[in-house]
Amino acid sequence: MNPFRGIEIDGLRSSHGYHTMNNSWNQNETQSNAPKRSNLQIGSQAGEREFTCFQETLGNYNPRAWRPRTLFSQFEGSFLELMTNKQGIFLFQMLLNECEDEQLDSLVQELLLRDTKSFVSAAYCEEGSTSINKLIKRIKKTIHAYTLTGLLSITLDCLMSDNTAKTVIKQCLDQFGSRPNEVLYENVILHYMKLATDEVGCRSLNECISTISGKQKITLFEKIVDEAVFLSNDRYGNYVVQHAMILGHDIVTYKVMQRLCGHFTQLSQNKGGSHVVEKCLNSSSFGTDLVVGEILQTKLAPFQLARHQYGNYVIQAALRNLKRQRKEILYVSLVKALKPHFPQLQRYAGGKNVVNLIRTDIEIPYQCWPEY
């Protein structure tokens, strides 16, 4: 996959001459120009001792006296080991901050093009993800941003489903412009269902929903709307539906509510689904009409929901919104459907809350209410 295909590079630079519209970093050039590997093998016992001694020596240096070019040459070929080592990440970050453009090109070439699998794997450890996040900040205004997002997009669903690795994707979304991130969003759209139904993935997907724009945003929202019923029933997917309703504005909320018509009563008895139904009730007068109208279609539905551990919150939200929106006919109809069941509702914690809410609204004991 060529991450540069179809991309016009405006305002980006690669100081070492790697204007890669023609993918000039081909395999032969990469191999011929590959820097020689350092003698410092951090993974070995001898290398660890050497590295520790070097760190102790480094601690005696005045930072203003450091010579990044000399240090860069010494560790060239071992940047991956350096960025994933608990002691080495400080030095790696220092080299990132101080290296010149030519050195940065060499570092990126080594990390991203020599052993891509190992580089991506580094995102799953704390030291590696911290180093990659620093790298992202350093290359955000260069053409290397396209190289990095193209590489990460290959296993994007796995990265976004890991608590540590997902920070790398979020850093890309926060630091890079929309164009370098297009390839990430394409794969988010491709794997949105897997992400939405994963404990970590749903949070990562919501972060994408917050930053995605243009046609890709419309496409992602359309897919979420199409699967709104399934996602609203899912323990993690319901958070994605709620987030889309918040950030998608009225049009997305309207489409979600229409898709959920006929499912409000069932969703109200599901922990995640009840939150989605409450979002519908709180979103607009239209949403209140849809939800309450459906609940009143089934004679025992108001009672069943009022005593339910999750459904009672939906009934309370319905009563509050009906009163706030001055929908007297619907309010009276809902109360009338609940009134015969007040004695039974008092046996349930949720039901008791519903009864108390109604009594507070009317300000007289329910036994004294006149017949409607």
Q: Which residues of 223-247 are buried (b: 16+ CB within 10 A; e: fewer)?
A: bbbebbbebbbbebbbbbbbbbbee
Q: Do the Cβ atoms of 312 and 305 come closer than 8 Å? A: yes
Rg (CA), the chain: 29
Give me the pLDDT at residue 61, please.
Answer: 42
Q: What's at 302, amino acid-wise?
A: P
Q: Nearest Cα to 330, choosing from 372, 371, 282?
A: 372
Kindly report the CA angle at 153 between 150 and 154, in degrees rounded to 5?
100
Q: In the numeric block, which tokens belong to residue 4?
A: 């540069």
Q: How far apart are CA 270 and CA 255, in angstroms?
A: 21
Q: Which residues of 160-169 are buried (b: 16+ CB within 10 A; e: fewer)?
A: bbbebbbbbb
Give me the pLDDT at residue 52, please.
Answer: 55
Which stretches of the chain score pLDDT less than 50? 1-43, 46, 53-54, 57-63, 363-372
Q: Do the Cβ atoms of 308 and 338 come closer than 8 Å? A: no
Q: How far apart are CA 70 and CA 56, in angstroms?
A: 17
Read off φ and ψ for residue 269, nearest 5 degrees: -100, 10
Q: How many CA atoms lie within 13 A of 143 on its CB side?
A: 25
Q: In the numeric block, which tokens belong to residue 168?
A: 């790398």
Q: Nearest Cα to 302, choosing from 347, 260, 349, 350?
A: 350
pLDDT tens digit sequence for 287-341? 999 999 999 999 999 999 999 999 999 999 999 999 999 999 999 999 999 999 9
Give me the pLDDT at residue 74, please.
Answer: 74
Give me the pLDDT at residue 43, please.
Answer: 46
Give me the pLDDT at residue 24, please.
Answer: 32
Q: Spell out the residues 6+ positions from residue 3 whose beta carbon is closer than 8 angstroms to its own.
A: 146, 147, 149, 150, 151, 153, 183
Read off φ and ψ for residue 141, nearest 5 degrees: -105, 20
